[in-house]
Amino acid sequence: MIRFLEGTDEDGLGIPYPCRKNSDTNNIGYLDLKARPSDIDLAYELEGWPEFKKLIQEINARDSFFRSLRCDVWFANVRGHETFPILAVGYITIAFEILEYNCAKNCFNELRNQFLRFAPDVITWPEVTVNFKHIPTSYSEHGINRAWSEDIEIHGFGHSKEEARAAFLKGLAPVKSFLLKESRSYPTQLSRGQKTVS
- This model's pTM is above 0.85: yes
Q: Is 177:184 a contact under the CB 8 Å cutoff?
A: no
Residues above pLDDT 90, as percent of the chain: 68
119-170 residue pLDDT tens: 999 999 999 999 999 999 999 888 898 899 999 999 999 999 999 999 999 9
Q: Is 14:136 a contact under the CB 8 Å cutoff?
A: no
What dihedral angle (degrees, nearest 10) is formed by the CA atoms of 15, 16, 20, 26? 80
Residue extents of the structural domains in the chain: 2-185
Task: Write b or e for each residue in 117-129: b if 16 or more Cβ atoms lie within 10 A of its Cβ, otherwise e.
Answer: ebbeebeebebbb
